[in-house]
A and B are shown apart, each in its own frame.
Chain A
Amino acid sequence: MTQVATPPQTLKPSAEGEGWKARPIRLKIFGNLIAEVVHKGICMYCGACIASCPIDILFHSDNEEPIMRGTCAACQVCYYSCPRIELPVAEIEQRIFGRERTADEAILGVHIGSYSVRAKDPEIVANAQDGGAVSALMLYALEKKIIDYALVSGFTSREPWKPAPKVARTRQELIENAGSQYTPGGQIGGMAEIAVPNRSVVNFQEERLALVGLPCELQGFWRMNTHWIAAPKLGRNLVFTIGLFCSKVFDYQKMMVDYVQGTRGIDLGTVTKVNIKKNRLLVYTGDRLAIDEPVEVLAHAAREECNICVDYSAELADIAVGAIGSVAGWSTVLTRTPRGEDILNGAVESGYLEMKKLDPAGKAIKFLETLCERKRLRDPSAYIRHSSAFARPEPKLIALEAPTE
């Protein structure tokens, strides 16, 4: 990872004041990220680099790309937080689940149970994408004080239907931000924008959070939390993550602005729901179904960055949620960790959700597995490594000479 270099003969001592430049090794800067990830067309705009910057000088530009405003300190943290630089999946799964995958978890990833759920609260169901599972689980966790706030994907008032990370602390905020979007929203970047970890270690009441994200965004989060040079302190207070099933996302400009608003002439301010189901694009304005077309019309808007992703069912989440595998109005939920299982069962027992078990060998799960396998055909060799050759090296310490009392 870092080349071991012999220190130059004239290393200046601390009293001279130039000590921060003293490392004679090739450091990774933000420019390396731009060259190796953004310009190579593999950046999914998850925002992990933005969240991990210790001096907060990275931002999402208007088209969601990471940009820097200010002077880079060459700390290498953003570089090693990026999941598209490298993603040691085995190491990460060891960290999340405590074990490797078994043979029959090869396609769906590590999981404990598979269910079909629907929220019991009618307002959540009315606003939600399918069964309202994400909103209901977050509401359960907020009201039972398992978390202090939820980082969900909602809209800013700047541009209609452009997703942005939002903090939700109340039921109203969850309902406002319910529903799926199909364009990237930089969810992990929101951890720095909104949930500023007060860096002082004294007197800081840290708030526990739960996170909703696409599989790539969760990859970014876990990469940030597992590499020894990245920024693990942002993940300290995470209680659980919810991942969403994802085949691909589309470019905001090309899909929403150019096609929906431009070609089809629908004002984005009136759109209430966007769904892609059974290979059809469905856009609702209020109760009316404004667009019902084959999804091939968006072929030009698909993001090529998604062509190297092989994670369909959010294999790095505590709870994975999606529509595939359930009937209309219900969501499929895969619990992957014991914590995820506890939260789902707790939500059911407390009356937030109704739940049906899904047979692991049944048609629904088989269909889900088919879609996962189809996504596995893509090529992730640019970044996925299955070794843990990147552990923290041991230092060679110098013994203290004079005994101080």
Chain B
Amino acid sequence: MTTTDKPTQENTLGSPSPDEPGAQTLTLSVGPQHSGSGHMRLIVELDGDIILNAEPDPGYVHRGIEKIIELRNIIRSIPVIERPSIIDASNLNHAWVRAIEELQGVEPPARGQYLRCLLNEMNRIMSHLYWLSIYGVFLGHTTMFMWPLGDRELFIDLAESLTGARITYSYLVPGGVRRDLPQGFAEEAIKRTEYFEKRLDEYENIFFKNPLFTSRAKGVGVLSRQRAIELGATGPTLRGSGVEADLRKDEPYAAYGELDFKVHTRPDGDSYSRVMVHVDEMRESSQLIRQMLKKLPSGPVRRKAPIVVPRGEAYSRVESARGECSFYMIGEGGDKPYRARYITGSYRNMAAISAVLQGVRLADMPTSWWSIDYWPVEADR
């Protein structure tokens, strides 16, 4: 591991430069703190201002979710598996019900599948908006903190009328979804997505074109394409490095096989690319919501699915807002799984944090690290 930048002048404090024997770097503990995301800690090794090595120290929000779901039947586990990422709960819920349905051999009706995807895309927008607002405040742009959170309310209200809750919906159950569309939902959702796309243009004006952001994010925290694939990154982190990988297109599940959308990538792999991939995805999700409402088939939304996990193994994965969320479930015939291994997008991207922060200035650490959208609660489960 080499430094990328030698200090250009003599260190007046008298400590030797790192190459000399007996040299010391400063080990800084960034955390444990809840810095807008979740409780986490980074152990950063600094040479002056440059980060030599940054290791995430996860585990502060570990609640033993995998053990909890071994003790609860599959319906009682639904609120539990949603909690790791409350702002992206529907995608995590989707992975859970897909694993169970694979074991049970139940297929939800078509309308149920579309409603699942509808809530998933709304959740993707909501999660990205929350992430964007924290990104803004990490860079000191408080307008960019307030505006996305305010626009997020548009979709929270929609989700509230559809599911009854603002964040953790518990809407997807094995066999379908719990409720049908309320009256007037389609018109309201179309109006709101159109207004939201205009707001994204305004964000472009105040933030994405703003030199306060571009000069701090372009070329900073580069994750090369090769490195991203080696480290097993997923989601916008991977797509920001030029890899066109999206589970909705590669292994279409639910209604995504019938929908028409693009997978957005950016070639550079710096923080700016990752941020813009998030923004492009928001636009795509907005368009997808309108498409789904137009194509929504009629029929029941739920099929009978028992509270039982048949014998067998199943692996399910979905594209959540932060990457691939998967469940590997082993059933033994009772109403609880024997074992359910739960891996989320943030857990997979943890390795990319060290790679991204290497050689970055300490002041640029929030810019780079937060562009990966690492959500500690999701990673720790």
Contacts and interface: CB of A to CB of B under 8 A. Distances in A.
Direct contact, A vs B (beta carbon within 8 Å): yes
Given A202-B164, A203-B181, A69 B301 contact: no
B304 A193 contact: yes
Interface in A144-197: 192-194, 196
B73 A71 contact: yes
B178 A200 contact: yes
Contact of B334 (A55, A70, A203, A204): A70
Contacts of A199: 178
A405 to B, nearest CB: 26
B182 interface: yes
Interface residues of B, number: 22
Contact of A200 (B179, B308, B310, B333): B179
A152 B180 CA distance: 26
Interface of B is mostly: loop
A192 B304 contact: yes
A198 interface: yes
Contacts, number: 52
Interface in B318-349: 333-335
B190 to A, nearest CB: 19
A59 B302 CA distance: 18
A56 interface: yes
Contacts of B303: 196
A56 B303 CA distance: 11
Contacts of A203: 179-183
Contacts of A193: 304
Interface string B148-182: 00000000000000001000000000010011111
A204 B304 contact: no
Interface string B97-119: 00000000000000000000000
Nearest to A198: B302
A200 B300 CA distance: 13
B32 interface: no
A57 interface: yes
A194 B181 CA distance: 21
Given A56-B305, A57-B307, A202 B335 contact: no
Nearest to A201: B179
B306 interface: yes
Interface string A350-389: 0000000000000000000000000000000000000000
A59 to B, nearest CB: 8
A203 B73 CA distance: 27
Interface string A61-101: 00000000111000000000000000000000000000000
Contacts of A192: 304
B300 A198 contact: yes
A57 B306 contact: yes
A196 B307 CA distance: 14
Nearest to A192: B304
A205 interface: yes
Interface residues of A toward B: which range?
10 to 19
A192 B305 CA distance: 10
Contact of B304 (A71, A196, A200, A205): A196
Nearest to B73: A71
Contacts of B304: 56, 192-194, 196
Interface in A47-62: 55-57, 59
Given A196-B300, A198-B301, A69 B180 contact: no
A70 B336 CA distance: 9
A71 B305 CA distance: 14
Interface string A199-236: 11011110000000000000000000000000000000
A311 B73 CA distance: 42
Q: Which of A199, A203, A205 has the most CB of B within 10 A?
A: A203
A188 to B, nearest CB: 14
A71 B178 CA distance: 22
Contact of B180 (A56, A71, A198): A198
Given A70-B335, A71-B335, A196 B308 contact: no
A193 B175 CA distance: 11
B304 to A, nearest CB: 5
A200 B177 CA distance: 10
Nearest to A72: B335
Nearest to B300: A196
A198 B111 CA distance: 13
Contact of A70 (B164, B181, B182, B307): B307
Nearest to B180: A203
Nearest to B75: A55
Interface in B95-143: none
A69 B310 contact: yes
Given A55-B306, A69-B308, 20 more contacts: A56-B306, A56-B307, A57-B306, A57-B307, A69-B306, A69-B333, A70-B307, A70-B334, A71-B73, A194-B304, A196-B304, A198-B300, A198-B301, A200-B179, A202-B179, A202-B182, A203-B180, A203-B181, A203-B182, A204-B180
Interface of A: 55-57, 59, 69-71, 192-194, 196, 198-200, 202-205
29 contacts: A55-B307, A57-B307, A57-B335, A69-B306, A69-B308, A69-B310, A69-B333, A70-B308, A70-B335, A71-B73, A71-B334, A192-B304, A193-B304, A194-B304, A196-B302, A196-B304, A198-B178, A198-B180, A198-B300, A198-B301, A198-B302, A199-B178, A200-B178, A202-B164, A202-B179, A202-B182, A203-B179, A203-B182, A204-B179
Interface of B: 73, 164, 175, 178-183, 300-308, 310, 333-335
Smallest CB-CB A-B distances: 10 pairs: A70-B308, A56-B306, A57-B306, A71-B335, A70-B335, A200-B179, A69-B308, A55-B307, A196-B304, A203-B182
